[in-house]
Amino acid sequence: MSHDRRLRTTFDRAAALYQGARPGYPAELFSDLVAVTGIEPPAHLLEVGCGPGTATLPLARMGFKITAVELGAALAAEARDNLADFPDVSVITSSFEGWEPPAGVLFDLIYAATAWKWVDPEVKYAKAAALLAPDGHLAVWGAGHAFPEGFDPFFTEIQHVYDEIGEGDGGSWPPPPPEDQPDATATEFETSGHFSLVATRRYVWARRYTADEYIALLDTFSGHIAMEAAKREHLYREIRRRLAARPDGRLTRHWSAVLTIGRRL
């Protein structure tokens, strides 16, 4: 599937599905984030690309003050609804590149969950550094499909369907297991000229999905949202057909997240 930055606006079409379909992040990730950076409430955090507030809620519950910037108007509206109980959290509809805080406002931590890759690489590190207080931190992480040893064979079967409809990614199969995946973001931090790399942490977990649940998840992915309707319908029919043949009608999808933390130089 493509990671063309022009696809970043597609997520707003799935705003109503996003919160229920996408998984949350492991509690350990947030514990590590706080421990490594040393932030304590009521430190002021800036979130880049908050979506419906999936990564905002755990930190809001800890008592942090959070300014969350979200490009999609519908996703921002969902986030405001989901965060309505937290008066110290504000959601702003804007791109990170185009947004400026009030004069004199600096942040103790800037973070992005499954959003950093969509931000202009010519802008993001320099701008993040400029918005951070001295010794402030930048933390980014994503949540991607993982293929550990013994992963569900459903994904080998369905990969053939992606290839048949011209939507394969062209890579080797199966992909490397999580522990062998390079952390490209860590390299970006080190070469940005704005941050020193402080820590990286990897988390792997699994979830079970029915056909309906898995298709709802796919409907939140940019490549599937932008896919030609006929291709998408064929793919979803094949997913349903294969899972219907299983005794419990479910698949197991593994997830992997890499938390990368840097300190402002």
Question: Where residue 116 sits, what CATH number does that domain have?
Answer: 3.40.50.150
pLDDT digits (tens, 9 = 90+) for 109-147: 999 999 999 899 999 999 999 999 999 999 999 999 999
Q: Which is more confident, 225 or 260?
A: 260
Residue 78 lies in a domain: yes
- Asked if the structure places residue 100 within a domain, the reply is yes
Greatest alpha-carbon pair distance for the chain in Å reads 60
pLDDT band at 18 (very low <50, low <70, confident <90, very high): low
Residue 32 lies in a domain: yes
- Interatomic CA distance for residues 213 and 126, integer angstroms: 39
Determine, yes or no, domain membership for 46: yes
Domain that holds residue 144: 5-148+177-207+253-264
Is 48 a domain residue? yes
Task: Kindly state the helix (H) or strand (E) to which residue 35 belongs, with its residue range.
Answer: helix 27-37
Residues 6+ apart with CB under 8 A from 40: 34
Q: What is the pLDDT of residue 4?
A: 53
- The DSSP code sequence of 236-256 is HHHHHHHHHTSSS-EEEEEEE
**Inside any domain, residue 42:** yes
The answer to whether position 66 is within a domain reads yes
Beta bridge partners, 260, equal 140, 200
Q: Determine, yes or no, domain membership for 133.
A: yes
13 Cβ contact partners less than 8 Å away, ≥ 6 residues apart: 74, 225
Nearest to 39 by CA among 141, 142, 133: 133
pLDDT of residue 82: 95
pLDDT at 232 over 50: yes
pLDDT surpassing 70 at residue 250:
yes
pLDDT for the residue numbered 15 = 63
Confirm if 82 and 102 have CB atoms less than 8 A apart: no
The number of domains in the chain is 1
User: Which residues are CB-neighbours of 70 under 8 A, at least 6 positions away?
Assistant: 49, 50, 51, 76, 79, 91, 92, 93, 94
> What one-character DSSP code corresponds to residue 9?
G
